[in-house]
Amino acid sequence: MRPTRLGLAFLGLILLTLVGCINYALSLGYAVTFLLGGVWVVTATQASRAGRALGGTLTPPPEAVAGTEALFTATLVSAGPPCAAAVRVGGRGTPEVRAHVPAGGRVTLALPVPAPVRGRLTLPRPRVVALDPLGLWEVTRPLSVPVALTVSPAPEVGAPPPPPRPVPGEGEGGRRVPGHEDFSGLRAYVPGDSPRQVSWRHAARTGALLTRETDAPATTARVLDWADTAALGETEARLSRLAAWVSAARHEDIPFGLVLPGVTLPVGRGEAHAREALAALAGHPPLPQGPARGSARKSPAPLPGGPLRFTLFALAVALAPAVLRQPGWATLLLVGVLGHSAARTLPRWRDRLAPPPTGLLVLAAVGSGALLQTGYGTLLGRDAGTAFLALLVALKAAETRTLRDAKLLALLGVFVTLTHFFFGQGPLAAAHAVLSVLLLLAALSGWTLPAGRQGASPLRVAARLGLRATPLTLALFLLFPRPDGPLWQLPVQSGAQTGLADRISAGEFGHLAGSRAVAFRADFGGALPAPDERYWRGPVYEAYDGVNWTQVRSRGPSPSVEPGGPPLAYTLTLEPNGRPWLPALDVPTALPPGTFLTNAFQAVTPRPPTARTRYALQSRAARLGVAESRERLEFDLRLPPGESPRALALASRWRSLTPEARVEAALTLLRAGGFTYTLDPPTLPERDRVDALLFGSRRGFCEHYASAFAFLMRAAGLPARIVGGYLGGEVNPDGGYLIVRAQDAHAWTEVWLPGRGWVRVDPTAAVAPARVNAGLATALSSPTARAAPVPTPLRRAALRLDALQTRWNAWVAGYDGTQQRDLLAQVGVGRVGGVPYLALAGGLLALALLPVLFARRPRPADPAARLLDDLTRRLRLPRAPGETPSAYAGRACLERPRHAEAIRAAVHAYHAARYAPDSGTAALRELWAAVRRVRR
């Protein structure tokens, strides 16, 4: 047993996708990869079981002519499950025929074998091959040819008649030869004599069979002489003419003799004499050499339309999600190419539509790559790379000509299916992947056997394989080691999705308010923090140039942290955003492995997540930066010279107040100054922006008020900075967690107060208190509301669906190394790679393989045959293919002598039950009793 070329390509696809899943942490990709691995194992066991039960014989034709095909007859017998079988002459790529052999059945096939030259036709390695339903594995067994085949020369077309050659002696006294004109006597009957020549009158009188012999004058016989072909010159041409003369004499039933150099056949007639003459011509030296390898290759036959249409349909299903995200021109090209390829499989369009030339396909591929490079700026990113791959696969479908190309097309469809997990791993993506993979496996099954000769529909075959591979898939999904980091890093995201950038300016957060995309989910495992405590800290902005606030790197000593509140543990499920920071409450005191805390108290991961990722954190309320570096405090007092003089003058008058009073004075200004919280503030000028907001428009969003407040504090002599992040989150009562969306992005201010360190001050709350307690939507409509409105029934249904999605993300799409270690710890296994882990993995894999390795053999329908099958099971001695019950009984008695009496009785009862009249029930009882006497 060995994998076929398709099986090796299938294994290569499994390894390639496994490496991709490890690198990009695609949990659903793991599931599909392990499903393919399970199918590979299941098909191996099926091929092995079928190969042990398959046998056959190969019978040559009576004769063959050079330059034609010799039609061998192959008889295949299976004593086991149904299987796809092939009869092959030579190695891979040589002539073969395929058929479906039913369970316990027999199939007869015609195997055409090329006979290019005369002589003895030797078949190189004739074999019967058992295949699995997908053609991934093959089990070969040798076939013996009982009689060698002699290939006679090809008769010359339009050969002239042979010259007359009179034979000495004429009339009754002359020499006579075998013929059909005159009676010459009787002889003993020989098997094979024609019944018309038997003397039935003599047989009726004496009881002995005698055959009449006839002859004819020698002058009526033909003598075919090698010398009569001397004018032709070449040996093969002379033999071809002699073969034509022999065929003519054979057809006319005329006696003839043959004279060759060193060989003389006496005058004779009949089939046996003609074959002897042709064999003499076939073996005449020198024998010609066979054609050079590869010199007589035939052009591939057109692929059958039905399987090719199904393969194109499965490929279209696999490519369907790409339509939702690629450019419109790419979708049109994709649909056009696949539609043209499908139309060419229809009989009515096959001759009307010409296949696209290779040059045009190459031009389309190069042009598509150039357009994608122009639109995306690269071909290596997630969006551009997957779109280019989809187009290349569609172009491959357009130039599919051979069976190898069609099978490769199905494998490419499987690979494309897994690339969709870069964009999402939800239940819909999983359902599409299952459907796509089943259709593509069914397409492979359709190519394994000729159309209309499968034992079951390809879809049913693929579904059965998937079900049998499911236990192994689950075991590998749970136990296969999940690394915590990628093998290498490539760009798979097109850009940030949360909107928190490295810098902010007026209007930066306003464009996020209309986006309901989920930024992350926070699960506290219990009571949720109060609304005014749901400040998710992100990037910290300290450098101000009058327009933009940007982050800075401080190289001074780390500021102090004085935790004071109770610890709060929670888990973040962060959506991919391309940013390195982790939103956290207050100050994190316990970070996930590989992350760190900056001296601005910002949680950062060195590698931004490229897929949905879970992080376990612990936070505590604390006094931050009571002991802060002088350099940092001085930096956080800087203002651009000449910027917003009115605001600067106003805040300068507060310097005589205490620090807390300065903060309260600025908040009072915002509360009582008629300011409005809005998503559509007027555009602020490039210069004196704070003056334009405070003394002009008085309309702004969170970043407007945070920027103005930080300016006032610096002008009042207090170090201040802006903190970006998220505020609030929607409570999901079904899951007990918070859903934080992009529209929850928020900016607030931190002011350094002596003895208290960095204190959070949210100036937006002074303008619209509802932003803290009721959320963005309520704050825009009712700025002073105290609570969010009760969700509508439709909203509650959406939250329930989100809870189901979250559970799916947690246990399926988000199953990673951390969850695997937690699961193993809960069952008491310990670390991955330890002895308990290996024992558990081995046990689960063995249990998963039990349905595959020990699947029951098909049971015969006849009761007597079923009891005889029970006998073979009890003896642990299966019947060989084509072995009769009597022959099996003789062999079984030799190998199991202590059960010999019961074996003979069982076979005797079997024959009686099957063939004896009016003894079925009694014989069945006797057979059952005999089988029961055999102990396992």
Q: Which residues are catalytic?
A: 702, 746, 762
Instruction: Specify the residue for token string 């103005």.
Output: 708
Nearest Cα neighbor of 103 from 850, 913, 868, 856 is 856
Instruction: Specify the residue for token string 């950038």.
Output: 501
**CA pair distance 767, 176, nearest whole angstrom:** 133
**CA pair distance 235, 247, nearest whole angstrom:** 18
Contact 904, 889 (CB under 8 A): yes
3-state DSSP assignment of residue 859: coil
Instruction: Specify the residue for token string 């024609």.
Output: 194
Count other Cβ atoms within 10 Å, centred on residue 908: 17
Instruction: Specify the residue for token string 């992009």.
Output: 742
3-state DSSP assignment of residue 307: helix
Contact 706, 722 (CB under 8 A): yes
**CA pair distance 78, 56, nearest whole angstrom:** 8
3-state DSSP assignment of residue 93: coil
3-state DSSP assignment of residue 686: coil
Considering only the C-alpha atoms of the chain, give the largest distance between any 2 of them, rounded to a whole number of Å.
Answer: 159
Nearest Cα neighbor of 692 from 652, 650, 646, 746 is 646
Nearest Cα neighbor of 664 from 632, 672, 784 is 672
Q: How far is CA 462 from CA 236, 405, 419, 438, 677, in A?
A: 54, 20, 22, 6, 59
Q: H or E element: which one contains 698?
A: none
Q: Establish whether the linkage from the previous residue to 327 is cis, with ω within 30° of 0.
A: no
What does the H/E/C string look like for 741-758? Answer: EHHHEEEEEEEEECCCEE
**CA pair distance 743, 514, nearest whole angstrom:** 6
Amino acid, res. 355? P
Q: Is the sign of the CA dihedral 711, 716, 721, 726 positive or negative?
A: negative
DSSP E strands: which ranges in 457-557? 503-505, 518-523, 535-541, 543-544, 548-550
Buried b (16+ CB within 10 A) or exposed e, 345-364: beeeeeeeeeebeeeebeeb
DSSP E strands: which ranges in 125-255? 126-131, 137-142, 149-152, 176-188, 210-217, 222-225
**CA pair distance 882, 819, nearest whole angstrom:** 55
